[in-house]
Amino acid sequence: MSETPTSPRGAAPPGAKAPPGFKAPTGAAPAPNPIDAPAPQIEPGVDAPKAAAAPPGAKPPPGAKAPPGATAPKPAAPKPAPVAAPVAAVAVAPVAIAVKPAAPKPDPAKVAAAPAVAAAPVAPKSVSRREFLNYVWGASMALFLAQFGGISFLFAMPRFREGEVGGRFSQSVADFGYDANGLPNANNVGKFWMVKVDDTINAIYKVCTHLGCLYGWNSTGKIFACPCHGSQFAVDGKWIAGPAPRNLDAFKMQVLDASGNVIATSNEAGEMLKLPANADRIIVDTGAKISGKAHF
């Protein structure tokens, strides 16, 4: 069992602190202060003891009085400041910096001779349902536009050749007029009458201007009469009676001489064309129909 340290005999110096764990003895009297103690009695004839000289640098305790005859200690000389030791010169060794040499340029001949590295195959990208529907829609629209464009082009192109309905017909001057039976000559392929009144001619369309019926020649009245609704027209195509709203339609004509030069042409109204004396051929263009003049 450890013992608690106690204070040694004698008084502790002023300002001293008790060590950790130290306990003062119970009932112990406090240490006497040497300054407050009574001065010793000196017997007659005995020299008083000299006070011990204080060590250099020692300070008297607070409140202490110097004994009579004691000399004050001389202050200690200040200690010289420590002189710094001379710093030895340090030799700095030169540092060598390593420079990396530049990489040599590749030889073009070796590079050309090197085998080509095959690129890694890329997996094909799958088509989503939305993309597939977009492709189908786009292809359908492209097909529709192509068909529509082709039909429009074919519709705009001339569909009739020479000698067919809608084409051009070459007739002689003698073809215009009446036959031996007194009927106007007709071109049944081109569907037009080749009428002649005095020195004027015309190519009149064989379709009634009322509702599109095919009318005929009435020998008794010397007129054109429609069997459908009774419209009547003169030999030159002018309206006479009936529900037809206008005169008969006619086709554009060109009169050529023996050299093939155009010497006369139908006017925009489709009226009777005066036949020149040197006329040789008449070209009837069934693709250029001239509407008859309205009578009301």
For residues 250 and 270, give the distance between their C-alpha atoms in angstroms, rounded to a whole number. Answer: 6
User: What would the DSSP string read from start to end of 79-133?
Assistant: PPPPPPPPPPPPPPPPPPPPPPPPPPPPPHHHHHHSPPPPPPPPPPPPPPHHHHH
Q: What average pLDDT is seen over the chain?
A: 74
- Cα 261 to the center of its chain, rounded Å: 63
Domain 168-290 falls under CATH 1.20.210.10: no
Looking at residue 242, what DSSP letter applies?
S
Is the confidence at residue 64, as pLDDT, over 60? Answer: no
**What are 202-242's pLDDT values in tens digits?**
999 999 999 888 898 988 888 999 988 889 999 989 999 99
Is the confidence at residue 247, as pLDDT, over 90? Answer: yes
Global pTM reads 0.46
Lowest-pLDDT range of 56-65, 150-159, 165-174, 219-228: 56-65
Which residues are 241's β-sheet partners? Answer: 232
For residues 71 and 49, give the distance between their C-alpha atoms in angstroms, rounded to a whole number. Answer: 14
For residue 31, which of 3, 7, 61 has the smallest C-alpha distance? Answer: 7
For residue 164, which of 184, 186, 188 has the smallest C-alpha distance? Answer: 188
Looking at residue 173, what DSSP letter applies?
G
pLDDT-derived band at 6, boundaries 50, 70, 90:
very low
Average pLDDT on 8-22 reads 53
Structure tokens at 14: 């002023």
Of 40-54, 74-88, 100-114, 249-263, which one has max mean pLDDT?
249-263
pLDDT-derived band at 19, boundaries 50, 70, 90:
low
Residues above pLDDT 70, as percent of the chain: 55
The angle subtended at Cα 115 by Cα 109 and Cα 117, nearest 5°, is 130
Torsion of CA 218, 221, 222, 226, to 10 degrees: -40
For residues 22 and 7, give the distance between their C-alpha atoms in angstroms, rounded to a whole number. Answer: 8
Question: What's the N-to-C CA distance of the chain in angstroms?
Answer: 152
**What are 264-287's pLDDT values in tens digits?**
999 988 888 898 889 889 999 988
pLDDT-derived band at 38, boundaries 50, 70, 90:
low
